[in-house]
Amino acid sequence: MSQAISLESLRQNGTQPLPQHLVERFLSLGQEAISQIPMEPALIAKFLSYAAAAEQELADQRERIARLEQLSATDELTGLANRRGFCQALQKALAAARRHQETGLLAYFDLDQFKQINDRHGHLVGDAVLRHVARLLKSASRLEDTAARLGGDEFTLVFPRCGARSGARRVQRIRTLIEKRPFRRDGLVLPLRISLGVVSFNSESDFDRLLEDADRAMYADKRERQVLKIAG
């Protein structure tokens, strides 16, 4: 086979439009090497068409897998991360803290009297309250933060690369935001109050111990609400 194979000849002989990057990758082998291939341009073009289809199928499959992974880490009701997504985010933040000698913050809270809201107004209103809180959390979170609903009325916030002082201010703003923005629907107004535990983490923090400390701090706040304290 002595004739030169060009980009245009492959395109003209292709069974479907050929992606330019695939053809250029093929042609980058060098004209001399390609000229030794005992195939007509039409056959080469057909081969590249099949390769393009296979490449697209792999890309589609990777996209489907990524979507499924995202869904498996997302709370269906609120759109926040679920328990799995929270665990992944906290593990990632702890790994970064160890790698870069950074500090971060974990906030853990629930809604006081949420059971009474459900009992008195029904689960549809209760679900709407949870979505209301989720929207407030999203509005107050940085891109690198993770807001999660662990289940029921339990929420967490993971703040990577965050010092104790700035973190305390941010958490206090979130508490104020939730407690100053009552849930409203069809004339119904429900003031909200949260019990909040906050712990700091660093390069030496342990995942399980961190959760225990955050839970303990939250229940201490529930028993006797004081000025926000950061454990750890």
Query: Which domains are assigned to the chain?
Result: 7-72 (no CATH), 83-231 (3.30.70.270)
Q: What is the pLDDT of residue 29?
A: 53
Q: What is the pLDDT of residue 78?
A: 97
Q: What is the pLDDT of residue 3?
A: 44
- The string of DSSP codes covering the chain is --SPP-HHHHHHH-SSPPPHHHHHHHHTT-HHHHHTS---HHHHHHHHHHHHHHHHHHHHHHHHHHHHHHHHTB-TTTSSB-HHHHHHHHHHHHHHHHHHT--EEEEEEEETTHHHHHHHH-HHHHHHHHHHHHHHHHHT--TT-EEEEEETTEEEEEESS--HHHHHHHHHHHHHHHHHS-EEETTEEE---EEEEEEEE-TT--HHHHHHHHHHHHHHHHHS--S--EE-
Q: What is the pLDDT of residue 224?
A: 80
Q: What is the pLDDT of residue 139?
A: 94
Q: For the chain, which ranges sit under pLDDT 70?
A: 1-54, 66, 68-71, 226-232
Q: What is the pLDDT of residue 168?
A: 87
Known catalytic residue at 206: no
Kindly name the residue from 110, 112, 145, 153 that is annotated as catalytic.
153
Q: What is the pLDDT of residue 1?
A: 40
Q: What pTM does this model have?
A: 0.71
